[in-house]
Structure 1
Amino acid sequence: MFSGLSALVVEGVTGERGVIRVTARIREDPVPCPVCGTPTGRVHGFHHRTVADVPVDGRRVVVSARLRRLVCPVLGCSRQTFREQVPGVERYQRRTTRLPDQLGSVVKELSGRAGARLCRVLACYVSRSTALRVLMRQALPPPRVPRVLGVDDFALKRRHRYATALIDAETGERIDVLPDCTTQTLVAWLREHPGIEYVCRDGSGSYSEAIRQALPEAVPVSDRWHLWSNLCGKVLAEVRSHAVCWATVVNPARPGGMREQTTRERWHQVHKLLGQGVGLLECARRLDVALNTVKRYARMTEPTAERRAPRYKPTLVDPYRDHLRRRRAEDPAVPVTHLLREIKELGCTGSANLLVRYITQGRAEGGKPVTTPQRFARLLLTHPENLRDKDTALLRELSAACPEITELACVTGKFAQLLTPAEGNDTKLTDWITSVRSVDLPHLHSFSNGLQLDRDAVDAGLTLPFHNGRTEGVNTRTKRIMRQMHGRAGLPLLRHRILLRGPLHSATTDYGPEPRS
């Protein structure tokens, strides 16, 4: 029970209300002088020292030890008297060495306030300041140079301040945390830690420049998840730009809506004024719109027609839509009150206002609603084996809307196959870029140009098994740590907590879903 006090002679144990008090004394053995090292057992006096030990039976343990003040036998020694220390207790501390070890495990996970609250439940009463001191007193693991380094940034204050996390991309072990994400800071760190062979990173220009300056012989590896994420954004932009083609495939009779009509009218107004020689700024003043809006319409060769799907919620009138459609086709002037009476006889419990809104929104005559660009892009980016039968049919119908959409579906599937690392993917990527540039997909052209600018790293990412998934996992756990501290702590404490955590488990090493899953 009191194994940590084996160096003391326990004279008595008393149990009070929530506290166990242990009375002990030091063994009467000679103690060396802290200055000259001469052993002595000559007692000058006594004093008492009170320290806390690990709880027992859910109650605090307080040890009151009687210590000796000894006299140094050497006449010329600078320390004539000295006090002996309690075994198992550091100098100037009021806790045994095993109690801070237990507290350290708690505060490493919960930090200050939350750690102090849990310690009180465990019968270890400490303040939040003491909990932080126990946390900061824990030694960090010795730094080492990994073979494969993972580099990624995380937000200290979103859109304002960012820091850089460095980990071992093979094991997930935290290596270091840099206070910013600038090129100079990363260059200085890399030059102080030579020996890195591979560096996994995203498409950040500052990181790529730092690697080029500090580690010219290291192989930069572009993260495949970021490549796929960038492609997803470009595919969505292409889908939106071709909404005129595919939006009418599902429901040709449906009008474009007020958004499309307003866009077309404003496009004609802008180009009419520009044709009369009116400047861009004067156009903005006359039309009462922003200058950037006028510039965007001026760059358009023809008005866009993005059609959005109405986000209707299920109503009580939906089961009777066929009856309403048939009655309005027979008699377009039929009053709403007659329709309401007829569907009530069929069992509808809705109100007149609900029926009026249902008819006004065009839901009585409309067929399937027009799908959204987001959903269409998601169908294009999902693996065909993971699509339902109706989604597969819808994707086949939408992809045949125009040749560009057909080519978009084809090149998207080919790029997804390259995301599985294999030899020869760099050659296939060259063929893929050539095929993309031969079709009229301007957003994918910009994506392919970006791949060419970082071609060495992209080739390494598509052929080597290394990735930045473990770094992203560390960033996810860092966000949880920052939420625990609610922004009250600075970077030193955050860095200490990040580096104290061990490597990620094997079950959580891969970051995010597989592409097209």
Structure 2
Amino acid sequence: MQKRLDGFRYPPGAENVYGNQNCNPNTVTHPDQQGQVRLGCGVGSRDAAALFSELAEQGYRGGMLTVRRFLHQFRGHRHVPQPGPRPFKPRHVTRWIMTRPDRLKDADRACLRQIRDRCPELDRTTEYVRAFAVMMTERQGSELEHWLTTIESDDLPALRSLAVGMRRDQDAITNGLTLPYSSGAVEGAVTRAKAIKRTMYGRANLDLLRKRILART
């Protein structure tokens, strides 16, 4: 969607991770040439309310406060800086991190490498995620203690909070990462019972529910 304001979400020289993404109708990005002239050359209105009305007519779904914040960076300047590339979407980065490295496409691997090079915290987080994935798929529960200790000594608040929660159930997690047993059969039975209950809601009593659950299908 073409916007009437210049798309410059980050100041020049900021160390951000960029990529070619689709336009978000809730952000003030991707101007047309007319929008650059209006802000960059001092022509037309710089009133936030008036510009917000124009944006709303073109499909903008954000709030006026976003427009005001966006305009604030241009106060006292006659020229609008050129728009920079937009950042990758978090869900894409999450998928790249959670995917096995040998299954990533070359383009996705290159994008993730670029992001990791620019963000040391995300680079270490990726290593922790992949180390845990190895423990889970190869049943290396004995490595959990070392994994938790390493995270606790690192400066990553979100992962340290995760480690605190895992410490409370460490024995159960270790068993889950080591033993071949699974609670999948129990969870499946519970899901089946809930599905049967929902189909009978308001139309049958407990006796019929019991028979349907015990009946083999």
Q: TM-score, normalised by structure 1?
A: 0.28
Show the counterpart of 1:311.
24
For residues 414 and 328 of structure 1, do their structure 2 counterparts lie closer, same or farther at Cα, with a shift above 3 Å needed? same
For residues 441 and 492 of structure 1, do their structure 2 counterparts lie closer, same or farther at Cα, with a shift above 3 Å needed? farther
- CA contact under 8 A between 1:247 and 1:371: conserved in structure 2? no
Deviation at 1:442, TM superposition (A): 2.1
Provide the rounded CA distance (Å) in 2 between the counterparts of 1:335 and 1:492: 77
List runs of 5+ in structure 2 lacking aligned partners. Answer: 1-13, 45-53, 71-81
Show the counterpart of 2:170.
455
Show the counterpart of 1:482.
197
Show the counterpart of 1:506.
none
1:415 and 2:132 aligned? yes
By relative contact order (CA 8 Å, sep 6+), the higher-ranking structure is 2
Show the counterpart of 2:16.
248
Deviation at 1:454, TM superposition (A): 2.1
**Higher Cα radius of gyration:** 1
TM-superposition CA deviations, 1:249-278 (whole Å, max 9, x none): 217xxxxxxxxxxxxxxxxxxxxxxxxxxx
Provide the rounded CA distance (Å) in 2 between the counterparts of 1:421 and 1:468: 18
TM-superposition CA deviations, 1:360-395 (whole Å, max 9, x none): 989xx6454333434332322222233333322222
- CA contact under 8 A between 1:399 and 1:406: conserved in structure 2? yes
Show the counterpart of 2:99.
382
Show the counterpart of 1:79.
none
Deviation at 1:437, TM superposition (A): 1.2
Show the counterpart of 1:371.
88
- CA contact under 8 A between 1:249 and 1:398: conserved in structure 2? yes
For residues 310 and 485 of structure 1, do their structure 2 counterparts lie closer, same or farther at Cα, with a shift above 3 Å needed? farther
Deviation at 1:485, TM superposition (A): 1.6
Provide the rounded CA distance (Å) in 2 between the counterparts of 1:390 and 1:468: 38
- CA contact under 8 A between 1:421 and 1:464: conserved in structure 2? no
Identity of aligned residues (%): 34
Q: Secondary structure at the match of 2:17?
A: helix
Deviation at 1:404, TM superposition (A): 1.7
Provide the rounded CA distance (Å) in 2 between the counterparts of 1:430 and 1:407: 18
Which residue identity does 2:24 align to in structure 1?
A: R
Show the counterpart of 1:471.
186
Q: Give the alignment partner of residue 142 of structure 2, picking from 427, 433, 438.
A: 427
- CA contact under 8 A between 1:451 and 1:458: conserved in structure 2? yes
List runs of 5+ in structure 1 lacking aligned partners. Answer: 1-245, 252-308, 337-352, 503-517
- CA contact under 8 A between 2:116 and 2:122: conserved in structure 1? yes
Matches within 5 A, 1:131-170: none
- CA contact under 8 A between 1:421 and 1:461: conserved in structure 2? no
Q: Secondary structure at the match of 2:58?
A: helix
Higher relative strand content: 1
For residues 470 and 357 of structure 1, do their structure 2 counterparts lie closer, same or farther at Cα, with a shift above 3 Å needed? same
Q: Secondary structure at the match of 1:250?
A: coil
For residues 334 and 435 of structure 1, do their structure 2 counterparts lie closer, same or farther at Cα, with a shift above 3 Å needed? same
Q: Secondary structure at the match of 1:311?
A: coil
Provide the rounded CA distance (Å) in 2 between the counterparts of 1:411 and 1:499: 44
TM-superposition CA deviations, 1:101-149 (whole Å, max 9, x none): xxxxxxxxxxxxxxxxxxxxxxxxxxxxxxxxxxxxxxxxxxxxxxxxx
Matches within 5 A, 1:295-310: none
Q: Secondary structure at the match of 1:249?
A: coil
Deviation at 1:460, TM superposition (A): 1.7
Matches within 5 A, 1:215-364: 248-250=16-18, 311-312=24-25, 324=32, 328=36, 332-333=40-41, 357=58
Show the counterpart of 2:11.
none
Provide the rounded CA distance (Å) in 1 between the counterparts of 2:157 and 2:197: 40
CA RMSD between the two structures: 3.9
Which residue identity does 2:155 align to in structure 1?
A: D
Provide the rounded CA distance (Å) in 2 between the counterparts of 1:370 and 1:476: 40
Deviation at 1:408, TM superposition (A): 0.5
Higher relative helix content: 2
Which residue identity does 2:199 align to in structure 1?
A: Q
Provide the rounded CA distance (Å) in 2 between the counterparts of 1:377 and 1:247: 20
For residues 435 and 366 of structure 1, do their structure 2 counterparts lie closer, same or farther at Cα, with a shift above 3 Å needed? same
Q: Which moved more, 1:474-483 or 1:462-471?
A: 474-483
